[in-house]
Amino acid sequence: MKPNKVKYMGLLGLLGLIGLFTGNYGFFGFFGFFGISSQTDDELLRKNIAKAGSNAFIVSNILLVLSIVGISVTETIEFAALMIATIFVIQLFVFIISFNYYEKRGDV
C-alpha cells in the first residue's frame, strides 16, 4: 500500500502556532489542517482531488492570461499585486467548491 502523501498537509496546522506568538489571529485558520491527518485514504478521494485540482488549474490559467492583459494596460505594480492575490483566492475557492461538489455527488 502506498503512503498517503495528503496526510502530510496536516503538518500545516503547526503554522497556527504563529498566531499565538505574533497576536495575528488569522493564523489560527491553519489549525484546520490538523483534520486532514486523520482522513482515510481511498481511490475516490484521490480522484476527486485530481479533478478539483484540474478545475482550479484551468481557472488559474485563464485568469493569468486576463491579468497579464490587464497589467500590460494599466502598467502599475499595485494592480499586479492585486491580480496575484485575486487569482490565488479564486483558484482556492474553485478547488474547494469543486472538491465539495465531487465529494457530495459520489462516483457517478
Residues 17 and 47 both lie in one domain: no
Structural domain of residue 9, as residue ranges?
1-40
The pLDDT profile of the chain, 108 residues, written as one tens digit per residue, is 577 777 788 888 888 899 888 988 888 988 888 887 777 778 888 899 899 999 999 999 999 999 999 999 998 999 999 999 999 999 999 999 999 999 998 765
Q: How far is CA 51 from CA 16, 38, 62, 94, in A?
A: 28, 22, 17, 11
Residues 53 and 90 both lie in one domain: yes
Residues 59 and 87 both lie in one domain: yes
C-alpha cell at 7: 496526510
For the chain, how many structural domains are there in total?
2
Cβ atoms of 102 and 51 closer than 8 Å: yes
Residues 46 and 21 both lie in one domain: no
Query: Is the overall model pTM greater than 0.85, yes or no?
Result: no
